[in-house]
Amino acid sequence: MRIAFPSAARRVSLDNPQRAINELVGILSEVRGGGRVAADLEPLACEVIETAIGEGAFLLAMVAPDGADPALLTGVVLEVPRGWDLDSAEALRDSMEDLGGPDVRETLALETPIGPAVLVQRIPGVERARTGETRTLQVQAFVAEPEINRMLLLTLASPSQRGWDVHQRLFAEMIASASPSAARSAPAASGRGARRHDAGTAAAEESFDQHTYRL
């Protein structure tokens, strides 16, 4: 599967944890305008890297477009559920609607050039404020490539509302760019709107919903 990264994304390699921490410290310092020294940022970078590696992420990137506060992009590889098709995607969307929790505000099942995908928007409400939990804006995509039995769970999360519309647009453009790993014929992309929630699959457990950092 090939996905075009937005130019505002700064990817961090997770192959070497200490090097990843150092890279992330440098990126955080830049996106915050050099307002904090490396020593202040290192604990935050350690937490982000350790969590990403612990969750089995293959992808970690900081996304900081103009006019928006930074957001964290993560990616996890999952197996494609057996018999995955648009009906399966709709079933996952239904599951998100029913069991994904109050943060799930909108979902979308759509056909992409490599097969069905599910997008999920999470916006925290008063429930989080009452419990004192971190309030996280989040958009997720389950993007499957059935021919090689691989599904990507991509999550973009930010603790800030500033520029969230920009982030959502970039994320949607990234998902729309998905193409097969090898050249083959592909159906035209199309989409359908609605609200729905997740659970009932391992993919739901791989959400980074509980891991948002004050960037």
Using DSSP's 3-state secondary structure scheme, residue 116 falls into: strand
Amino acid code (one letter) for 116: P
- Predicted TM-score of the model (pTM): 0.78
Half-sphere exposure of 160 (CA within 13 A, CB side): 15
pLDDT at 204: 40
Any long-range contacts for 155-158 (C-beta under 8 Å, 24+ apart)? 155/73, 155/74, 155/75, 155/207, 155/208, 156/63, 156/71, 156/72, 156/73, 157/71, 157/72, 157/74, 157/208, 157/209, 157/211, 157/212, 158/69, 158/70, 158/71, 158/72, 158/212, 158/215
Beta bridge partners of 115: 112
**Residue 183, Cβ density class (10 Å: 0-12 exposed, 13-18 middle, ≥19 buried):** exposed
The DSSP code for 73 is: E
From first to last of its 215 residues, what are the pLDDT tens digits of the chain? 888 888 889 999 999 999 999 999 999 888 876 556 667 889 989 999 999 999 999 999 999 999 899 999 999 998 888 888 888 889 988 888 877 777 788 888 888 888 888 999 888 765 555 555 556 889 999 998 877 888 899 999 998 889 999 999 999 888 888 888 764 433 333 333 332 223 333 334 344 444 444 43
How far is 130 from 43, CA to CA, in rounded Å? 27
Location of structure tokens 């769970």 = 153
Location of structure tokens 């958009």 = 139
Cβ–Cβ under 8 Å, residues 152 and 76: yes
